[in-house]
Amino acid sequence: MYYWQANNNFYLPGNYSSIAKQFIRCLLQHLVNNRILYQLFQLDFDDAELLEILAVSLGDFNELTSVAALKQVISDINVQKSINFDTCMRILNNVSIYMEYLALESHHTQWL
C-alpha cells in the first residue's frame, strides 16, 4: 500500500480520491440549501462509511466545514414542526457516528 492510499489527508492532484473528495464537497455546498444533509442523515446506514467520508471530505473545506454541516442538520431538525420518533432517533444516531469522525481540532470556534 502506498502512503497516499493509507493517508486521507495527503493531497495528490489528479488522484481519484482527491477528485472524489472535491466532487463531494462541491455537491454538498450547492445542495445544502435544499436540505440534502438533513435527508442524508435520515437514511438508515448498514455501516458508517458514508458518514466517515462526509466528515473527512468536509474536514478541511472552508466553504462548508464539517461542523457547519452538522449545524445545518441540527437547524433543519429545529425547523420541522413535527418529527417521527424513529426518524429522530435515526438522525441522532447518525449524528453521533458522524461526530466520531470529526477532527478534535475541527473549527472549535464554529461551535459557538
Q: pLDDT tens-digit profile of 80-105?
A: 888 899 999 999 999 999 999 887 66
What's the pLDDT tens digit per position in 8-56? 555 566 777 778 888 888 888 888 888 999 999 999 988 888 898 888 8
pLDDT at residue 75 tops 80: yes
- Provide the number of structural domains found in the chain: 1
In a domain, 8, yes or no: no
Would 4 be classed as within a structural domain?
A: no
Q: Give the range of the structural domain holding residue 47, as residue numbers without chain letter.
A: 14-111
Helix, strand, coil abundance in the chain, percent, nearest 5:
65, 0, 35
All three cell numbers of 79, joined, read 425547523
Q: What angle do CA 93, 97, 99 make, to 5 degrees?
A: 115
Which pTM does this prediction carry?
0.76
Q: Look at residue 59 and tell me whether its pLDDT is greater than 70.
A: yes
Q: Scanning the structure block, which residue is given the C-alpha cell 436540505?
A: 35
Q: Is residue 107 part of a domain?
A: yes
Q: Does 38 fall in a domain?
A: yes
